[in-house]
Amino acid sequence: MSTASPSASSSHDVDLLEAHDFCVSIALKAGSYLREQSAARAGLRGPDAAVELTAQIKMSSVDIVTAADMECERMITEAITERYPSHAIIGEESYSAGQEKRFLLTEAPTWIVDPLDGTVNYLHLFPQFCISIALVINKKPVVGAIYAPFTPGISSHAQDSQNGTLYSAADGLGSFLTQVNPENFPSLLDPLTRTREDRSTCSPTPYSARLPLLKPPGPFPPEAPKSCLFAAEWGKDRRDKLDGNLTKKVNSMWNMACEIGGRGGKGGMVHGVRSLGSAALDMAYVASGAIDIFWEAGCWEWDIAAGTCILVEAGGFMYSAQPPLDYKEGDALPSADLGSRLYLAIRPCSGTENETARQAQDRVAKEIWRRVERMDYVRPK
């Protein structure tokens, strides 16, 4: 967990605990809209319920924007503009609409918004979709909230998971999983319900279960990634080329799944390979310890910004999906650049007599690097 003060971020006068509560409240409001839209589409709100299902293709038939994406982004950006008028905002849909692919982030406080991560899942009423919102300062995610309105998580109150699961974090505060239910929804929705006295002591109330869920998180197996649960997404680049990103992703996932010694010695023998259709939720599950490793190339900063804050505050680490070109054995392993489109999330873990937790995470990252093919995802300067 970060040791930075949660009350303010260096060189910028931002109360991170207040920003965290605000971030949670707008994620919940947008998620409630998605719940209502999904219920209406499923016929649970009667024949006259208003449904906004207009869908448009962006770059390919698997890269889709719906009216719900646009409405959620409008709700979120309006709330941010009202509360933090001096802050910048980078939203997935407004970014895509302008066809602007440069890395736009500066050192200034910037909200990075994915109004609906898992749009294809939402379109099919597959419940793995979420709202993902992050505050980034000095190009570092310092606040994050991921709200999955139809996806229950594991906690002591799992029986009450009628409204889904919230993952949240702030730099220096920690990471939390909260089952959202009718009883605690009002207090979570209103960021002013926490008193200034609560803030001064950094009380986690009403955010219930600290991440990771296992206390303490277990060490990595000595032969990891063997016996680990591995997540990766297919991505939107579906071009059928022998040297294309899709082929490289398939080969990499094949390597991870294959028996030890197979695939020219690259076989990883992971317990399983999962593709959820939402990078934000992949990140949340790694932070909680439910998934050991998430490897992804091709997604964008709004897919992983909130998840990065949640992961790091839980004790995990975000590496690049592949070693830097100038990497040499023995070099320190750096964290991934937020705008790199190349991400490898490793879960929190315990150390052992012979290995610290960070040494174990580094070991696993290097074993992943050895088994995956180098991706070719670039963006204009």
Mean pLDDT confidence for 250-261: 95
Q: Does 96 score more than 80 pLDDT?
A: no
pLDDT band at 54 (very low <50, low <70, confident <90, very high): low
Q: 3-state secondary structure string, the chain?
A: CCCCCCCCECCECCCHHHHHHHHHHHHHHHHHHHHHHHHHHCCCCCCCCCCCCCEEECCCCCCEEEHHHHHHHHHHHHHHHHHCCCCEEEEHHHHHHCCCCCCCCCCCCEEEEEEEECHHHHHCCCCCCEEEEEEEECCEEEEEEEEECCCCCCCCCHHHCCCCEEEEEECCCEEEEEECCCCCHHHHHCHHHCCHHHHHCCCCCCCCEECCCCCCCCCCCCCCCCCCEEEECCCCCCCCCCCCHHHHHHHHHHHHHCCCCHHHHCCCCCCEEECCCCHHHHHHHHHHCCCCEEEEECCCHHHHHHHHHHHHHHCCEEECCCCCCCCCCCCCCCCCCCCCCEEEEECCCCCECCECHHHHHHHHHHHHHHHCCCCCCCCCC
Q: Are 187 and 171 in contact (CB under 8 A)?
A: no
- What pTM value is reported for the model? 0.88
Q: Does 306 score more than 80 pLDDT?
A: yes
Q: Are 204 and 194 in contact (CB under 8 A)?
A: no
The pLDDT of residue 276:
95
Among 6-15, 219-228, 281-290, which is the least confidently predicted range?
6-15
Q: Does 339 score more than 50 pLDDT?
A: yes
Q: Does 329 score more than 50 pLDDT?
A: yes
As a whole-number percent, the residues of the chain with pLDDT over 70 amount to 81
Distance CA 263, CA 106 (A): 42
The pLDDT of residue 59:
47
Among 81-85, 115-119, 148-152, which is the least confidently predicted range?
148-152
Arithmetic mean of pLDDT over the chain: 84
Residue pLDDT, tens place only, 224-236: 999 999 999 998 8
Residue pLDDT, tens place only, 164-210: 899 999 999 899 998 888 777 777 777 655 554 554 454 445 566 88
Distance CA 173, CA 170 (A): 5
Q: Does 6 score more than 60 pLDDT?
A: no
* Amino acid identity, position 81: T
**Tokens (6 digits) for 348:** 């929190």
Residue pLDDT, tens place only, 64-85: 467 788 889 999 999 999 999 9
As a whole-number percent, the residues of the chain with pLDDT over 90 amount to 59
Higher pLDDT, residue 71 or 220: 220
Q: Does 332 score more than 80 pLDDT?
A: yes
Q: Does 267 score more than 60 pLDDT?
A: yes
